[in-house]
Structure 1
Amino acid sequence: MATDKQTCFLQLCLTALAVLISQSLWAQSGDIRCVEDDKFRQVCLEQPAQRIAALSPGATELIYAAGGGDQVVAVVSYSDYPPEAKQVTSVGSHTRLDLERLVSLKPDLVLAWRTGNPSEQIATLERIGMTVYYVEPHNFDDIADNIVDMAVLAGTEETGRKVAQEFLEGIDDLAHTYKDADPVATFYQVWDEPLMSMNHAHYISKVVELCGGVNVFADSPRLIPRLNQEAILIKNPEAIIAGGMGERNAHWLDKWRAFPELKATQQNNLFFVPPSLIQRPTPRLLEGARVMCEKLEIARQHRD
């Protein structure tokens, strides 16, 4: 549902951008640069990073967006955007790293997924002296913050600030476009087996709200609640949005067509959004938000 907050989104976004830029400025002693990561720790480098390891697909996208792609020497599986990232050496999956191979690449900056990478393996990297920046964005400002921070650490500040500002301005445009839109009760399906959604604290829920949607599981006590089909039938959302398991694979929606009692099924409001656009907290989330907003607008048009 649209809120007064959305009506002044541009001012808030630009203010947040100014704050995160000021927080990310490096000290003027030599070329030392310091930022605060998503574990609220100060991360400093004596010079711009030259060899960067990105340990999640999202971190890979963020560092490339920040202008530091040329310095990336290690990624993990499914780091498929931008396309050139697929040519970078893989050091395992985000859930199990090949530490020997990673260490052999001698990164001077490691971008770690705070809740996605194995904590004991990241701790090992820190113990042997590697500089680790933890990534865990939860909202639009956090994404912009990560981009600017990574740009500072990579020495590509101008690019990072430009990308961050364009991202926030795009989000603001959507906020203004849909600020008076009629609410649409929405179920976003994060996963199929087990069935999962997300609560209000998740960035995807914030995209739903941005588009004038109402996340039917916003009040769940868990960030990623595990559900059963009965829970969705009880909530009876007006729209169901799923990402599927591939960019053109919408088969997760098929099961909901078997429930004609669902309002979303009755009104033909079963929608697919490519998961790479909505399930990674990167600048491409703006593109995913535009797609979601278009889908919820279609749902409004389907009303009697």
Structure 2
Amino acid sequence: MGIDQSPGLRIVSLTPSITELLFALGMDDRVVGVTDSCDYPAAASKKPNVSCWFEPDLEKLMALNPDTVLGSETAHLYLITVLEKKGIRVILVNPETVDQALQTMIDLGDRFGLSAQAKALVEGLQNRLNLLDEKVGSIAPEKRFTVSRVLEWDDDSFYVAGPLSFQYDVITRGGGINVTGALKIDYPRISFVQLLEWNPEMIFICGYDKHLIPRLTQDLKWQRLSAVQSGRIYQFHCGLTCRTGPRIVDMAELLFQTMYGLTAL
């Protein structure tokens, strides 16, 4: 059942992915609050802020008088009881693949009475994915890069994207072969020895520190990895790597272009 698209609808979005989608659907005037990670499009960062996405400030949230809160199943389940007792509708999503991300866009469009807009958005994204699939299909499996998406690390271990994560699927859609395929969880923690054993041909991380890659390439431990030796360690914007909104296709295309020097279009 769709939600009334009346001018009084007041939405707080707790994830950057959903915020991007709401703006893409033309619902920015209904968004009354976001988190400090909601930085795209630029206008989103001008909305009232309820603090960090994984632990929003409930006092700030309630002060915005929302009737609907959108968030993530992995981070915001605890909010259902708290907010629904106050008469606030809570909608949580958790797409684990690129296709599920597109379906989520359709589902939310339907919920808000914007089925046509969501369908048009997804059709455009799907057309780009179809072109990308053709490009990837033209590359022989033995010519494809083995890849690891490293999220966090310390001296002895790494968190990487596993098969139950959308980031794993983005790598696959971009033409990479993820080295964590045998680990049936979303974000496994592995040892450096394990990463060295897999020895991916390409590694990518995210972040905003322009000095991070130079530091890693000078680290003697990281220098043992083939990806570092060949200069195939990359840093991408977190807004692309970590979100399941409309730019998820941008990320798949970017990976393809980075690995194979070809555009997807």
User: Which TM-score bucket, shorter chain as reference?
Assistant: 0.7 to 0.9
- Measured against aligned partners, the alpha-carbon deviations of 1:86-137 in whole angstroms (never above 9, x if no partner) come to 11111122222222222232222211211123x3333200222211111211
- Structure 1 residues 122 and 235: CA distance shift in structure 2, 3 A: same
| 1:199-233 Cα distance to aligned partner (Å, 9 max, x none) | 12211111211222111112213311112322211
Does the CA-based 8 Å contact 2:106-2:119 persist in structure 1?
yes
Measure the CA separation in 2 of the matches of 1:46 and 1:153. Answer: 9
Distance 2:54 2:189 in 1: 20
Does residue 129 of structure 2 align to residue 171 of structure 1?
A: yes
1:242/1:250 contact within 8 Å kept = no
Query: Which residue of the other structure, out of 67, 90, 95, is the alignment partner of 2:54?
Result: 95
Are 1:107 and 2:71 counterparts?
A: no
TM-score (norm 2): 0.86
Q: 1:223 to 1:264 in 2, by over 3 A?
A: same
Give 1:144's aligned residue. Answer: 102
- The residue number in structure 2 matching 1:203 is 166
Whether 1:155 aligns to 2:155 is no
1:207 partner amino acid: V
Q: Calculate the TM-score normalised by the size of structure 1.
A: 0.76
Corresponding residue SS for 1:152: helix
2:11 alignment partner in structure 1? 52
Aligned pair 1:221/2:184, yes or no?
yes
The yes-or-no answer on 1:81 pairing with 2:73 is: no
Alignment partner, residue 38 of structure 1? none
| Residue 251 (structure 1) aligns with | 212
The reply on whether 1:120 has 2:78 as its aligned counterpart is yes
Cα distance between partner residues in 1 of 2:234 and 2:51: 33
The residue number in structure 2 matching 1:42 is none
Once the 2 structures are TM-superposed, how far is the Cα of residue 260 of structure 1 from its aligned partner? 4.2
Counterparts in 2 of 1:226 and 1:186: CA distance versus 1, 3 Å? same
Taking only the aligned residue pairs, the percentage that are identical comes to 24
Shift of 1:47: 5.0
Which residue of structure 2 aligns with residue 273 of structure 1?
236
Whether contact under 8 Å (1:199, 1:225) holds in the other structure is yes
Residue 127 of structure 2 is aligned to residue 191 of structure 1: no
Aligned 8 A contact 1:140 1:168 in 2: no
The more displaced of 88-97 and 151-160 is 151-160
**More displaced stretch, 149-158 vs 135-144:** 149-158
Q: 1:253 deviation in Å?
A: 6.5
Q: 1:240 aligns with which of 173, 190, 203?
A: 203
Does structure 2 retain, via aligned residues, the 8 Å contact 1:67–1:156?
A: no
CA, structure 1 residues 268+98, in 2 after alignment: closer, same or farther (shift >3 Å)?
Answer: closer
Q: How many residues align?
A: 254
Give the Cα–Cα distance (whole angstroms) in 2 for the partners of residues 89 and 137 of structure 1.
26
Distance 2:223 2:230 in 1: 9
Q: Deviations over 1:64-103 (max 9, x none)?
A: 1222111100111111011111111111222222222222
Q: Distance in 1 between matches of 2:196 and 2:132?
A: 30
Q: Runs ≥4 in structure 1, deviation > 6 angstroms?
A: none
- State the Cα distance separating 1:149 from its structure 2 match: 2.5
CA distance in 2, matches of 1:271, 1:139: 22
Change (3 A) 1:250 1:154: farther
Which runs of no fewer than 5 residues in structure 1 stay unpaired? 1-25, 27-32, 34-44, 300-304
For residue 23 of structure 1, what is the aligned residue in structure 2?
none
Superposed CA deviations along residues 236-286 of structure 1, whole A, max 9, x for unmatched, are 11111222x22x636156425534442223322222222211211111111
Q: Is the 8 A contact 2:145 2:202 kept in 1?
A: yes
Kindly provide the amino acid, as one letter, of the partner of residue 76 in structure 1: T
Mapped to 2, the partners of 1:153 and 1:212 lie a distance apart of 33
Paired position in structure 2 for 1:41? none
